[in-house]
Structure 1
Amino acid sequence: MGFEKHLRKLNIDEMIIEKIMNVDYPRDKDNPKQDLANFMAVAMQKCEELLDYDTISEVMYDRACCKSGARLKNSRLFAKENKNKTLEEKLSLLGNVNYMGKPFLNKNGDIETVAVGSYNISNMTCPCWHFNGAKPANSLMPLSYCKCCAGHFRFHYQKALGLKLRLKEVVSSILNSDGKSPCVFIYEII
């Protein structure tokens, strides 16, 4: 399974990997996306038991998708075109770029973003291509799973804004709330 590769890449102890990968979960042999959603919900719960916050974050950042191609090109172009603007101006402009969320500087001086694929709050579906709309059968997805998506935004925000960022919190997610709350991430500026 691909998730195991990301755990190994970060040199997680083999006994811990074994405990994460061999969890009991509701199998769905007829629907691979559903099976993966069911596995990941239980595996992420196990990760939260066995790994610290930053280690889980690094594993999930490594899984982050869409870090190349047009999005990377747009991030680099944005940085070049807006290098002389203030951070507040950059964040406002970045919110108008496709697939860059709606970032703003919050009252604590952190970058917060509403980062969902669909901004129609009444009909939100998780944009994660791993699941294509499948949800875990017996539970909600732990917020730690969404560090993958947060890693995607962190990667592009760092390029576009010329800043080093650390994920401070996954506040909410579509997948964790069964579509009732948007994906919201908070990054501290390093």
Structure 2
Amino acid sequence: MKTENTVWHNQHISKGQRAALKKQKPALLWYTGLSGSGKSTVANAVDALLYKYSCHSYLLDGDNVRHGLNGDLGFSDEARIENIRRISEVAKLFLDAGLIVSTAFISPFASDRALAKAKLAAGEFIEIYIDTPISVCEQRDPKGLYKKARAGEIKDFTGIDSNYDVPAAPQIHIKTAENSIEQCAEQIVAYLIEHNFISVDNLN
């Protein structure tokens, strides 16, 4: 339920002014893919590159957010939807501060990703599909979750007994099984340069 009797308060400093001060364009890098696909690893590598290039960025990781903001949510379909709704709102605030924001979440439902995109200005939402075969994800299984899901110890596990909607037309398509993490990160930063989110002057 929405709170009544509230009015949006316009601030003296605009998003455009904050972005201009940082010499970049705000963007939301939305990493999506199966558990173990490499979302967080690639997102961290990109964030490190952006820092190296003097860009102002922040990474919202799925597990980290569930330690605090979304600590009250489970993994049912309804909880996953609320998880993405909350993080979309937080990311929008970070973009208003002029930042380049990364979110590393499975975000299995295309409808939720579409809602996140709809909250932002045109061009700000960059969907990054971390396309890793489930067989490779299971081999990696860094948290032992696939093994537990196969044994029936975890329910509603994406890719096993809960659906994952493959992105139809992601802005960036990453294949971690075929490329190194460094190559994947460079591919994403190259996109940001090509589309003028960051300036080549930052690379010098």
TM-score, scaled relative to structure 2: 0.25
Greater RCO between the two (CA within 8 Å, min separation 6)?
A: 2
TM-score, scaled relative to structure 1: 0.26
| More helix as a share of residues | 1
